[in-house]
Amino acid sequence: MKILETFSRRADVMGRMAQTLGVDFGARIARNHGVAEQYRNAVMRCASCTHEAECLNWMNGHKDAKEAPKYCKNKDLLDNLSPN
């Protein structure tokens, strides 16, 4: 059960980070179902990250941002999808 809780929590973190960067995964998935796999992989990378507390603190200080923090395992994906 712990693994499911971790993935659920990290999906929330990924969603919040995407929102902070202006990335709408829901809209992107609706237009291109292949993006769903990118999102799943991003959640998996997020789940293996050791910077969760740092990430949450960063997001608390950034209501919107142009790029993900350098330590983010999804930085390249998120920065490429960000409209900023």
CB neighbour list of residue 43: distance below 8 Å, 6 or more residues apart = 7, 10, 11, 14
pTM over 0.85: yes
Reading the chain (84 residues) residue by residue, the pLDDT tens digits are 588 898 899 999 999 999 999 999 999 999 999 999 999 999 999 999 999 999 999 999 999 999 999 999 999 999 999 987
The predicted pLDDT at position 3 comes to 85
The predicted pLDDT at position 15 comes to 93
The predicted pLDDT at position 1 comes to 56
Q: Could you give the angle at the alpha carbon of 50 between the alpha carbons of 46 and 12, nearest 5°?
A: 35
Query: Is residue 18 a contact partner of residue 79, using CB atoms and an 8 Å limit?
Result: no
Domain parsing of the chain, residue ranges: 2-81
Query: Is residue 74 a contact partner of residue 42, using CB atoms and an 8 Å limit?
Result: yes
